């Protein structure tokens, strides 16, 4: 392959990296555009990645092939999957370390609130999905779907996409009949776009609509977390490197191992399906624990804050590129306006209900509320945006507390919808 009319010859992998970094540059530029104080921020990268995927994914994939002994293997999708997974590991592990020192104190104080809010958000999403199922049965299933089982598979895919939940997506594919797995994938791809952008805009708009004093809200969050990071350090700790890369890598390795552990589910027709924390949940759990204790014996296990901030940002944008480019291609290939509307419903209703429940019933402060919403919606990109909007990384503790509850609940709700409908 050649760039600029053959002036610069490049290999396939080099050209793919060229595209990735071009998307990052243009995406950051778009994210900086601010209208009445609201911007896409890092989600600008996601928007450009979607557009790039919609316009150029097919020709890119047709050009960049590796010739095997028996067949030509397209590697673009796999390469982007690697970028997405690497970004996810970098981001969630950084978030876990950042939240770890304050996580357990915050969890102890607000445990019931986080559990309730996580359940309320996901149950609201499930009820929204049921509403969409009945709407579809009343007005027609939509293009290319002829059975109620197929439509349910589509709706459950839309639910996992609207909540940006890979575990729910995987569980739904494992639960539906084999002939409907493709519909789950299509639904997930259609709803994923608004599932990301909707929550990103929500966490920016709410502080403006409520005219929140962000300095006062940060003070409330700091006050709630006071005294939770004071730990006695006995003697001098040994660091394997100056930046904490080794500690970070250990957390990632242990997290990936834990994430692969599968717990069989039984009853209510769930036989044969399993639950796992996945790489996201495993890395988050491990880094929370290491971030909380800060050491293993005399070995320092806390990376430098500058390292964590860099990995958090880098991980987020790599994740958005890796997910956005193939997502844009899937969106164009499978778009149906009514399915997109269903996906919007399943993003907006749980988000709004969760926010109101946290504000008026649980009485959470604004930043604790929004941090919990990003966790309840299992929205990694929205957390990155909220940290920038709030001006403090303390909101990550609320995300980390609500996320595991929502993770488990959305997997179970998705499977129950398939069984019941």
- The model's pLDDT over 397-412, given as tens digits with 9 standing for 90+, comes to 888 888 878 877 887 7
pLDDT at residue 169 in the model: 72
More confident residue, 45 or 231: 45
Query: Tokens representing 111?
Result: 């445990």
- pLDDT level of residue 161 (50, 70, 90 thresholds): confident
- pLDDT level of residue 8 (50, 70, 90 thresholds): very low
Give me the DSSP letters along 287-351. Answer: HHHHHHH-EETTEE----HHHHHHHHHHHHHHHHHHHHHHHHHHHHHH--HHHHHHHHHHHHHHH
Cα–Cα distance for residue pair 161/187, rounded to 1 Å: 7
- Residue partners of 420: CB distance under 8 A and separation at least 6: none
- pLDDT level of residue 99 (50, 70, 90 thresholds): confident
- pLDDT level of residue 234 (50, 70, 90 thresholds): very low
- Compute the average pLDDT of residues 187-197: 82
- N-to-C CA span, the chain: 50
Say which residue the tokens 């044969």 belong to. 272
3-state secondary structure of 34: strand
CB 188, CB 158: distance < 8 Å: yes
pLDDT at residue 142 in the model: 58
pLDDT at residue 69 in the model: 43
Q: What are phi and psi of 99, to 5 degrees?
A: -80, -25
Q: Is the pLDDT of residue 420 over 60?
A: yes
Per mean pLDDT, which of 189-203, 329-343, 350-364 is the most reliable?
A: 350-364
**Of 105, 110, 407, 116, nearest in space to 275 by CA:** 407
pLDDT at residue 166 in the model: 67
pLDDT at residue 64 in the model: 64
- pLDDT level of residue 228 (50, 70, 90 thresholds): low
- Compute the average pLDDT of residues 19-44: 84
- pLDDT level of residue 21 (50, 70, 90 thresholds): very high
Q: Is the pLDDT of residue 67 over 60?
A: no
- pLDDT level of residue 274 (50, 70, 90 thresholds): low
pLDDT at residue 4 in the model: 47
Q: Is the pLDDT of residue 174 over 70?
A: no
295-296/274-275 β-pairing? unpaired
Percentage with pLDDT > 70 across the chain:
82
- At 243-260, the pLDDT tens digits run 899 999 999 999 999 888
- At 339-397, the pLDDT tens digits run 889 999 999 999 999 999 999 998 988 998 999 999 888 887 788 888 888 888 888 88
Q: Is the pLDDT of residue 275 over 90?
A: no
User: How much is the pTM?
Assistant: 0.71
Torsion of CA 371, 50, 31, 383, to 10 degrees: 10
Query: Tokens representing 88?
Result: 């996810």
Q: Is the pLDDT of residue 22 over 90?
A: yes
**Four-residue CA torsion sign, 173, 160, 378, 80:** positive
pLDDT at residue 232 in the model: 45
Q: Where are the domains of the chain?
A: 95-225+240-309+331-420
CB 348, CB 201: distance < 8 Å: no
CB 395, CB 370: distance < 8 Å: yes
Residue 146: burial class (beta carbons within 10 Å; 0-12, 13-18, 19+): exposed
From residue 160, how far is each of 139, 170, 180, 352 by CA, in Å? 23, 9, 15, 17
More confident residue, 249 or 68: 249
CB 307, CB 244: distance < 8 Å: yes
- Compute the average pLDDT of residues 295-310: 90
């Amino acid at each position: 392959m050649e760039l600029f009319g053959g002036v610069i010859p490049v290999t396939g992998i080099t050209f793919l990296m060229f595209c990735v970094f071009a998307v990052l540059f243009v995406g950051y530029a778009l994210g900086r555009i601010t209208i009445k104080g609201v911007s896409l921020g890092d989600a600008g990268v996601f928007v450009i990645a979607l557009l790039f995927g919609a316009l150029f994914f097919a020709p890119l994939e047709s050009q960049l092939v590796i010739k095997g002994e028996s067949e030509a293997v397209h590697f673009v999708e796999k390469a982007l999957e690697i970028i997405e997974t690497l970004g996810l590991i970098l981001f969630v592990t950084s978030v876990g370390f950042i939240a770890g020192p304050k996580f357990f104190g915050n969890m102890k104080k607000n445990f019931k609130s986080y559990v309730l809010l996580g359940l309320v958000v996901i149950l609201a999403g499930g009820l929204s999905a049921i509403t969409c199922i009945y709407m579809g049965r009343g007005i027609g299933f939509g293009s290319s779907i002829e059975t109620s089982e197929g439509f349910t598979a589509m709706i459950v895919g839309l639910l996992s996409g609207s909540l940006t939940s890979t575990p729910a997506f995987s569980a739904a594919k494992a639960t539906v009949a084999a002939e409907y797995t493709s519909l789950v994938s299509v639904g997930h791809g259609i709803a994923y776009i608004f599932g990301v952008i909707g929550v990103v805009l929500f966490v920016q708009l709410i502080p403006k609509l409520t005219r929140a004093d962000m300095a006062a809200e940060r003070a409330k969050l700091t006050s709630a977390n006071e005294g939770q990071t004071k730990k006695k350090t006995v003697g001098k700790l040994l660091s394997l490197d100056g930046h904490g890369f080794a500690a970070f890598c250990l957390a990632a390795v242990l997290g990936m191992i834990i994430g692969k552990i599968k717990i069989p589910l039984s009853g209510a027709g769930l036989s044969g399906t399993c639950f796992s924390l996945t790489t996201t949940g495993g890395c988050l759990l491990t880094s929370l624990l290491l971030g909380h204790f800060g050491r293993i014996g005399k070995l320092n296990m806390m990376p430098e804050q500058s390292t964590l901030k860099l990995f958090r940002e880098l991980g987020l944008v790599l994740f958005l590129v890796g997910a956005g480019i193939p997502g844009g291609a899937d969106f164009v290939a499978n778009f149906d306006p009514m399915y997109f509307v269903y996906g919007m419903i399943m993003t907006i209703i749980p988000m709004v209900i969760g926010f109101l429940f946290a504000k008026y019933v649980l009485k959470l402060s604004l930043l604790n509320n929004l941090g919990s919403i990003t966790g309840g919606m299992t929205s990694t990109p929205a957390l990155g945006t909220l940290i920038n909007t709030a001006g403090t990384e303390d909101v990550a503790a609320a995300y980390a507390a609500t996320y595991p509850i929502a993770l488990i609940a959305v997997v179970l709700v998705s499977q129950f919808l398939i069984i019941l409908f």
